[in-house]
Amino acid sequence: MAAAAVSGAKRSLRAELKQRLRAVSAEERLRQSRLLTQKVIAHSQYLKSKRISIFLSMPDEIETEEIIRDIFQQGKTCFIPRYQFQSNHMDMVKLASPEEISSLPKTSWNIHQPGENEIREEALSTGGLDLIFMPGLGFDNCGNRLGRGKGYYDAYLKRCLQSQDVKPYTLALAFKEQICLQVPMDEHDMKVICFPTLQVNL
């Protein structure tokens, strides 16, 4: 598929997925988030991972708060995204505690993240990551992911491959409404390295 065709296919799929997500009630989002959290914290890869990156969820994403609490309860190290809005650069910076989240400044996307000038431990400069929880608008069962179009995670995964010997394991967190038959991909897109069917039976 030519680049322009891929770009057009992504644009129309994004619009369709946003519409699908708007139709999911708050109760249903919470129900699926709770079921998915139970599956995540029992997942073998999660159990053996020590250094984990996880996104702070927006209203149309799987709620990650309980997973974050469990990361700390299990004595693992938690990193969260810090996006640079003028580029596609993102760092994963260390979170001190789940309680700290509500005091972090809010971005234009209305999500909390540490201030740009605040000095924090960055995952890739202190030993890399074992596991990255991936947000996205859509996923298919071949591990293809449709992001929001900024390329933050694709760029970050490429940096991971350059700076650590073992690839971080990637787990997609998705509502069942976000699973597509096929996600259009171009050469810049990184697959979700492992896409377990965590959303089955939700």
Q: Find out whether 13 is annotated in a ligand binding site.
A: yes
Q: Find out whether 83 is annotated in a ligand binding site.
A: no
- Quote the radius of gyration of the chain (alpha carbons, Å): 16
Q: Find out whether 51 is annotated in a ligand binding site.
A: no
Q: Find out whether 145 is annotated in a ligand binding site.
A: yes
Q: Exposed, middle or buried, 155 (CB in 10 Å: 0-12/13-18/19+)?
A: middle
φ/ψ region of 100 (left if φ > 0, alpha if ψ in -120 to 50, else beta) reads alpha
Q: Find out whether 11 is annotated in a ligand binding site.
A: yes
Q: Find out whether 150 is annotated in a ligand binding site.
A: yes
Q: Find out whether 22 is annotated in a ligand binding site.
A: no
Q: Tokens 């608008």 map to which residue?
A: 137
Q: Find out whether 35 is annotated in a ligand binding site.
A: no
Residue closest to 68 by CA, chosen among 108, 102, 106, 23:
102
Q: Find out whether 95 is annotated in a ligand binding site.
A: no
Q: Find out whether 12 is annotated in a ligand binding site.
A: yes
Q: Find out whether 10 is annotated in a ligand binding site.
A: yes
* Residues contacting residue 105 through CB under 8 Å, at least 6 positions apart: 112, 113, 114, 115
Q: Find out whether 82 is annotated in a ligand binding site.
A: no
Query: Measured over all CA atoms, what is the biggest interatomic distance in the chain, rounded to whole angstroms?
Result: 47
Which segments within the chain are labelled E, that is strand?
51-53, 77-83, 90-94, 131-134, 138-139, 145-146, 169-172
Q: Find out whether 14 is annotated in a ligand binding site.
A: yes
**Angle at 27 (CA atoms; ends 22, 29), nearest 5 degrees:** 55
Residue closest to 128 by CA, chosen among 177, 89, 164:
164
Q: Give the residue ranges of the annotated binding site for substrate.
A: 56, 61
Q: Give the residue ranges of the annotated binding site for ATP.
A: 10-14, 145-153
Q: Give the residue ranges of the annotated binding site.
A: 10-14, 56, 61, 145-153
